[in-house]
Amino acid sequence: MNYQKTFYHKGIKTAIKFVAEYSPDGKLIKNTQYNPDGTVFNEIYYNPNGSIKTTKKY
């Protein structure tokens, strides 16, 4: 089962939410970034070796 960690980066005016999804062996597989209103603006998928597989921008 995958697990997630949530991070927040506070800027001058807004806070951006980042959610990192990890595989059971602890490797990063997906990073999702959210706008302050909760909508997704960026998703990054990773290969098992840690390199970027795909990036989706909304």
For 35-58, how does the pLDDT look when each residue is reduced to its tens digit (9 = 90+)?
Answer: 888 899 999 999 999 899 999 998
Per-residue pLDDT, averaged over 5-23, amounts to: 81
Tokens of 57: 């921008």
Q: Among residues 47, 49, 1, 40, which one has the least CA distance to residue 18?
A: 40
Q: Where are the domains of the chain?
A: 3-57
CA distances from 19 to 2, 34, 56 (A): 12, 8, 15
- Is 0.95 topped by the overall pTM? no
